[in-house]
Amino acid sequence: MRKPYIEFILLGLLCLPCAVYAEEAERATSWGAWLKERVMYDGQILPMVTWQQPADSPQNPDNALMKLDSLNAAVHVRPNFAFRAGAISLGIRPRLIAEYTEIQDGLYDGDSDSTIDVFVNEGYAEWRVLPSFVVSAERRNLQWGSGFITSPSNPFYRVTGKSRPQQELPGKDFVIASLIPNDLFSLTAIMNFGEGEAEIEGNRESFKQTYALKATFTFDDFSLSPVVSYQDDDRLRVGGFGSWTATDAGVLFFDASFAKGSNGRYVTPVDGDPFGMAFETTKDDDGRIYSEILVGGAYTFESGATLTGEYLYYGEGYDKDEANDYYELINRSGAAFAYQGDDPMQQQLRQLGARNLYYSLQNNLAFRGQHYATLYANRSDLWDTLDLTGGGTMNLADQSFYAFFNSSLNLVDSLDTFLNLLAYSQKDETEYQGVFDYMVTFGFTWYF
């Protein structure tokens, strides 16, 4: 006799996988929707070519010291990922750079190289402990202030990167705690505990842990941010930055820093040295207060174009006599380094010359002189497709300068083309007649 309950059992066994699959599909769908709401991503792919002409200067005779390439063809892949759930935010910006470089000038003419580099340039893990209190561990390019060539109050980055906007500055490693009780005031404590992706020796600095405390006061048309910072084995620096919207079209801004003594390297007479002088940190224990002050203003015309001017006083820079000693030493050192013979004494002198040339570039100073002026104009969204920026910076003491021009043209919704130009003055024994004569970069940016 047939047992009808057997059919029900068999039917149940057949339906069970379907029910489990439906439950799993529903769970997967809900997880997918949950992730979709919280995960964000975008990115860029930038193929670019750079042509540059190494300068024929005593600091790099016959391009034998720096081995600068004349051609650089590269593809930069820059994806960005972010995740946010409740009080937790995570982000990572990995980078891939594939490039081909070729030296076309000097002693190493014809040398070439191909590299592929994969790394994480920026990333963060952030916890909003309270609505007004946030802590984070980050690798990032930490910038502030309105200055174009530098931010004196920023102890972490001496350059802003604004003259070459398509080139990313390397991220450094930070721990940051921010207190934001209201819209008028915030307080941020920052510790730079690692060099991250920064090639420290290549950026005129050696890594030291740096600490900063930055407050920000924000009003209707004025903001002020005092900054106090300290670097291990260095000194306390006090400064800040701020801006004032003077009119609907005009903005004034400043950025400043003050410290006792300087860790800069200055040319000093040295007994027993074959050159009679060398680079020394002679002002390390100096009781004098050295200031770095940048002031500027920007005015936007009815056409949409903005004209910006800046003046920088850099107290640690060389005065006239110090600059003369500097150029005397690098001229003599460059001549010694150019020696290619076998004489042991001359070879030893060549090594000492290389040491001096190295310290002429790694002199722990952001600028060589003391007085600088910058003027540039910007026009964005011209015909809704074109951005233009052009201008220059001059050392007011030696009248050397560099000029820059940047353009970006939108071709279609997700594709831009860009052109960056840098040109340096050629006057001997001046600051901007040092490394390159010119630099031209052309490329595309594809957004995804």
pLDDT of residue 201: 43
Whether the CB-CB separation of 97 and 79 falls below 8 Å is answered with no
CA distance 88 to 16: 39
Tokens of 5: 């309950």
pLDDT of residue 4: 46
CA distance 285 to 262: 8
Sorting pLDDT into bands at 50, 70 and 90, what band is 17?
very low
pLDDT of residue 342: 86
CA distance 7 to 15: 12
Taking alpha carbons only, the member of 137, 133, 208, 196 closest to residue 169 is 196
Whether the CB-CB separation of 215 and 225 falls below 8 Å is answered with yes
* Angle value at C-alpha 152, between 288 and 156, nearest 5 degrees: 110
pLDDT of residue 168: 94
The length of the chain in residues reads: 448
Q: Read off the DSSP letter of residue 65.
A: T
CA distance 235 to 60: 32
Question: Which amino acid is present at 407?
Answer: S
Tokens of 412: 């279609």
Question: Which amino acid is present at 404?
Answer: F
- Indicate whether 19 pLDDT > 50: no
CA distance 73 to 50: 6
Residue 203, SS3 per DSSP: helix
Sorting pLDDT into bands at 50, 70 and 90, what band is 58?
confident
Taking alpha carbons only, the member of 114, 111, 31, 38 closest to residue 73 is 114
CA distance 121 to 116: 15
Sorting pLDDT into bands at 50, 70 and 90, what band is 202?
very low
Which of left, alpha, beta for 66 (phi over 0: left; psi -120 to 50: alpha)? alpha
Q: Which residue has the higher pLDDT, 11 or 326?
A: 326
Q: Domain 4-447 is in which class?
A: mainly beta
- Indicate whether 6 pLDDT > 60: no
For residues 147-175, give the mean pLDDT. 93
Sorting pLDDT into bands at 50, 70 and 90, what band is 59?
confident
pLDDT of residue 23: 53
CA distance 236 to 231: 7
Q: Which residue has the higher pLDDT, 63 or 16?
A: 63
Residue 155, SS3 per DSSP: coil
Mean model confidence pLDDT for the chain: 90
CA distance 117 to 254: 38
pLDDT tens per residue, range 338-397: 888 888 889 999 999 999 999 998 899 999 999 999 999 999 989 999 999 999 999 999
Sorting pLDDT into bands at 50, 70 and 90, what band is 30?
confident
Whether the CB-CB separation of 400 and 427 falls below 8 Å is answered with yes
Tell me which of 45-54, 97-106, 171-180, 335-344 is least confident. Answer: 335-344
Q: Which helix (H) or strand (E) holds 102?
A: strand 88-102
Question: Which amino acid is present at 257?
Answer: S
Burial class (CB in 10 A: 0-12, 13-18, 19+), 300: middle
SS (H, E, C) 257-278: EEEECCCCCEEEECCCCCCCEE
Cα 40 to chain centroid distance, Å, stands at: 25
CA distance 429 to 186: 46
CA distance 37 to 32: 9
Catalogue the E-assigned strands of 301-400.
306-314, 371-382, 386-395
pLDDT cut 70: percent of the chain above it = 92
- Indicate whether 327 pLDDT > 90: yes
CA distance 18 to 37: 28
For residues 142-151, give the mean pLDDT. 95
Question: Which amino acid is present at 9?
Answer: I
- Indicate whether 150 pLDDT > 90: yes
